[in-house]
């Protein structure tokens, strides 16, 4: 964040970051996203920025691939984990299915629910929540001696009203104490705004890539036509 105050070992700062500071930082992030051309860096920037403005300990960025959500980038500060993006290590976790075998929406997984319903989901405590299945999360926590408590899951929706990614943050931390807290309404609004900016940046990146591929195909087509008509190069 732009806050330059010192931090203690728990990650708490001497004072909370003001709404004005957070909005200013969000604006800076939006500008940075719009200028980024490397897709891996762009995706990583989206997740790390969301973590930053909410003071979240961890997060995952899913990319939609058909009817599945693929784990694209995973970060967790406490566990010193960074997979995908610029880390050089791919996320090997199995994708999340958006639909059940009978074709019905997957309403048990919070990321799938968010994607299918195009809806933000804010969970205060995964261990007491009865709306979603967090058994996988709890198994991970037991293995890693961690506790994934608060969740904020936000769909990234493009200009065609299509969900292209899902942004999920874990364990918001209090700036004053470093304790795990719920994601606030302000946190949610900031991340939803960031998701909108991310959708524009991702759509623009894909548009540029598509135009580049189209141009390259056009050049190859012209080169082939010239080659076919040339008496010097025909057949060679």
The mean pLDDT of 220-236, rounded to a whole number, is: 59
166/155 Cα distance (integer angstroms):
4
Contact predicate 53/33, CB 8 Å? no
Contact predicate 55/172, CB 8 Å? yes
pLDDT, tens digit, 9 for 90 and up, residues 6-32: 445 455 555 567 767 877 787 777 777
pLDDT, tens digit, 9 for 90 and up, residues 108-144: 999 999 999 999 999 999 999 999 999 999 999 999 9
Contact predicate 58/150, CB 8 Å? no
pLDDT, tens digit, 9 for 90 and up, residues 140-166: 999 999 999 999 999 999 989 999 999
Residue 99 φ/ψ, nearest 5 degrees: -135, 150
pTM of the model: 0.78
**Which structure tokens are listed for 205?**
């990146």
Q: Name the average pLDDT for the chain.
A: 84
pLDDT above 60 (res 236): no
- For the chain, the C-alpha Rg in angstroms (whole number) is 21
Q: Which of 141, 130, 133, 136 is nearest to 171 (CA)?
A: 141
| pLDDT value, residue 178 | 92
What distance lies between CA 62 and its chain's CA centroid? 6
Q: Which fold has domain 19-201?
A: Beta-Lactamase (3.30.450)
Please report, rounded to a whole number, the percentage of residues in the chain having pLDDT higher than 70: 78
């Amino acid at each position: 964040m732009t806050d330059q105050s010192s931090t203690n070992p728990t990650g708490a700062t001497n004072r909370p970051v003001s709404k004005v500071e957070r909005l200013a930082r969000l604006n800076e992030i939006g500008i940075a996203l719009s200028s980024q051309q490397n897709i891996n860096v762009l995706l990583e920037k989206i997740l790390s920025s969301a973590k930053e403005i909410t003071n979240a300990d961890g997060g995952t960025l899913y990319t939609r691939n058909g009817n599945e959500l693929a784990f694209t980038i995973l970060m967790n500060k406490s566990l010193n984990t960074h997979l995908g993006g610029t880390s050089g290590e791919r996320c090997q976790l199995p994708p999340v299915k958006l639909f059940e075998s009978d074709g019905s929406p997957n309403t048990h997984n919070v990321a799938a629910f968010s994607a299918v319903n195009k809806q933000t989901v804010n969970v205060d405590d995964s261990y007491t929540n009865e709306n979603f299945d967090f058994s996988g999360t709890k198994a991970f926590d037991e293995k890693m001696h961690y506790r994934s408590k608060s969740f904020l899951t936000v769909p990234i929706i493009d200009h065609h009203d299509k969900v292209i990614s899902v942004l999920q943050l874990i364990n918001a931390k209090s700036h004053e104490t470093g304790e795990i807290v719920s994601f606030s309404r302000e946190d949610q609004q900031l991340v939803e705004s960031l998701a909108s900016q991310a959708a524009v940046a991702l759509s623009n990146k894909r548009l540029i890539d598509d135009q580049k591929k189209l141009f390259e195909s056009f050049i190859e087509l012209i080169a082939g036509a010239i080659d076919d008509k040339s008496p010097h190069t025909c057949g060679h």
